[in-house]
Amino acid sequence: MRRPRPNPRPAPAGPPVELAIEAMGGEGDGVAVGPAFVPFTLPGERVLAKGRGDRRELVEVLAASADRVTPPCPHFFACGGCALQHWAHEPYLAWKVERLRGTLARQHLEVEFLPAFAVAPQTRRRVALHARRGSREAARLGYKMRKSWDLVDIAVCPISDPRIQAAVPALKRLAAPLFEHPKSAPTLHTTLTDTGIDVDITGVEAKSGGLSADGRMQLAERAAEADFARVTLAGEMAYLARQPTVRLGPATVALPPGAFLQATPGAEAAMAAFVAENAQGASRIADLYCGVGTFTFRLAEIAPVHAADFAPEAVHALTSALATAPGLKGVAAEARDLVRRPVLAEELRKTDVAVFDPPRAGAAEQAAELARSSVARVLGVSCNPATFARDARILVDAGFQLERVLPVDQFLWSPHIELVGVFSR
């Protein structure tokens, strides 16, 4: 039998080459003819780059753009979290909006764009911090490096709320007992709430029985030392000092472990105000993919709301919070899989405004039912312009018009942008 030949060695990359950056790619890399994608570069620059194929690495900026600025974070070039700290704010935001415009145009959607809402640095209240084994007293904690499973052990983070940043040493101590099993790769989903820091930990190896009693005791002791509000292990209670709560419009909501919450309070307030403004005059509202009530309580100040979400724990939190907000027009909430069992057009017969805020996969099944319904106005909230454009096309083909869009830059210095769209018959 002939032995298979070993795979040939990859061709050497060769010496660095000079490239002219002509545009920005979708992930925030500069693009030269070829194409060749070079991170940390800007349109109009001449750079020296190494590598081969269409992915290169920056060696030196030979001629810098006038829009280049000094990144505010010392970890920027190593950390995989941010991609665009080297770009001045105005051209950076304009590029994001233009990308959004292009995404909608591919579905032949032309629409009025309102001025974008952009969050400020140091406002993010929800981060996912990866932990790796360190000492018995403190784990390594931070974000993943670019093109690596290793971590940038963060000292500062200009996107995070300063109260999260101040808690990093305590979070490192909290994570230290989590490495009893060699396969554990914990992630600390950290949320700043009105009553303190809430941490839900995933990635602790469970097949061996999970964290030992001694490990759980250490976890609770360190949570108490740091005065965290709550610590859970994949939703299971490990420590509770105070129920984590947030204020959503007129209501105070007790958050379930690991609950979805908009990443920044400012973006949440801007989107909720825009949704409420465009729902004025409604007689009955549907809030689909309602979560814990980001929009529900504000909408219920206008008209009765039928709220639905696939997560029973989120719906339970929403329902329980109704007692904290007297004077609402009424809320009926249900746990419902809106992909397998969307709210049907017949169920929306008396509804004149509908709001949908789905996960990144979008709401194609629910959009089809809204298209069949007699609903007069639809407000679509999305963190994924591509699936929003697909769902918008379903509504427009059924006779809706996409009137205007509010771009929302909630994930600062990343290539991602969110939006709220207003549809009317």
Catalytic residue IDs = 383
Beta bridge mates, 347: none
Strand 187-193: give its sheet, edge to edge: 151-153, 140-144, 126-132, 187-193, 196-202, 230-233, 236-240
What distance in Å separates the CA atoms of residue 18 and residue 229, rounded to the nearest whole number?
A: 53
Query: Which residues are CB-neighbours of 376 under 8 A, at least 6 positions away?
Result: 352, 353, 424, 425
Cα 244 to its chain centre, rounded Å, is 20
Beta bridge mates, 192: 197
What distance in Å separates the CA atoms of residue 148 and residue 76, rounded to the nearest whole number?
A: 15
What distance in Å separates the CA atoms of residue 318 and residue 306, rounded to the nearest whole number?
A: 12
What distance in Å separates the CA atoms of residue 308 and residue 287, rounded to the nearest whole number?
A: 6
Beta bridge mates, 309: 335
Alpha helices by DSSP H, listed for 157-235, are: 162-166, 168-175, 213-226
| 3 state DSSP class of 268 | helix
What distance in Å separates the CA atoms of residue 417 and residue 178, rounded to the nearest whole number?
A: 34
